[in-house]
Amino acid sequence: MRWLTPEEQRAWRGFVRLHERLGGRLARLLQSESKVSAADFAVLVHLTDTPDGRQRYQDLARALEWEKSRMSHHIARMAGRGMVVREECAEDARGAFVVITDAGRAAIEAAAPRHVEAVRELFMDHVTPAELRVLAEISERVIAKLDEDQS
């Protein structure tokens, strides 16, 4: 049985902790300052990418790589907070649209600068371009492998 080498442990534990800490900090920052979580943010960004601010649940789920159940729950909560509304789909009676509201647009416009600033401040500012490139490569390669065996 091959246990992890010290270097492997160091990298693995570092990676896990980094995400935990960074994620937690970012979440608290955003939550406290703008009432828009990272997940909300991702949804709103994708909605504003379309001209009419409207997308099918499924397309949104695929784009964000979320399960449909998660999407359903999350949109329900966001709808409860008035950021989006659900809308029936005429062409396919099973389907539905998620539509951003004016309040949703206002929320993301208010939150976006803080979001980016926080990512910079907590992460980007402490990493060199070369390191960033390595990180991107690792991520893409490993994700590709993950997709490969057993999607």
Partner DNA sequence: GACAATTGGGTGAGCCGTCAACTACGTCTA
Partner DNA sequence: TAGACGTAGTTGACGGCTCACCCAATTGTC
Residues 30/44, Cβ–Cβ less than 8 Å: no
Stretch that binds its own copies, among 8-16, 47-55, 75-83, 92-100 (CB under 8 A): 8-16
> Among residues 14 and 82, whose Cβ is nearest to its own copies?
14
Helix (H) and strand (E) counts in the chain = 6, 3
User: Is residue 82 at the binding interface for its own copies, with CB under 8 A as the rule?
Assistant: no
Residues 100/84, Cβ–Cβ less than 8 Å: yes
C-alpha distances in Å from residue 121, one per residue of 53, 114, 116: 30, 10, 9
Of 46, 48, 54, 56, the one binding DNA by CB under 7 A: 56
Residues 92-111 that bind DNA (CB under 7 A): 92-97
Q: What is the dihedral of CA 14, 15, 21, 26, to 10 degrees?
A: 150
**Alpha carbon distance 18, 36 (integer Å):** 22
Of 8, 87, 88, 102, the one binding its own copies by CB under 8 A: 8
Stretch that binds its own copies, among 45-53, 88-96, 102-110, 124-132 (CB under 8 A): 124-132
DSSP letter at 125 equals G
The contact set with its own copies (CB under 8 A) reads 1-4, 7-8, 10-12, 14-23, 25, 65, 113, 116, 119-120, 122-124, 126-127, 129, 131-143, 145-146
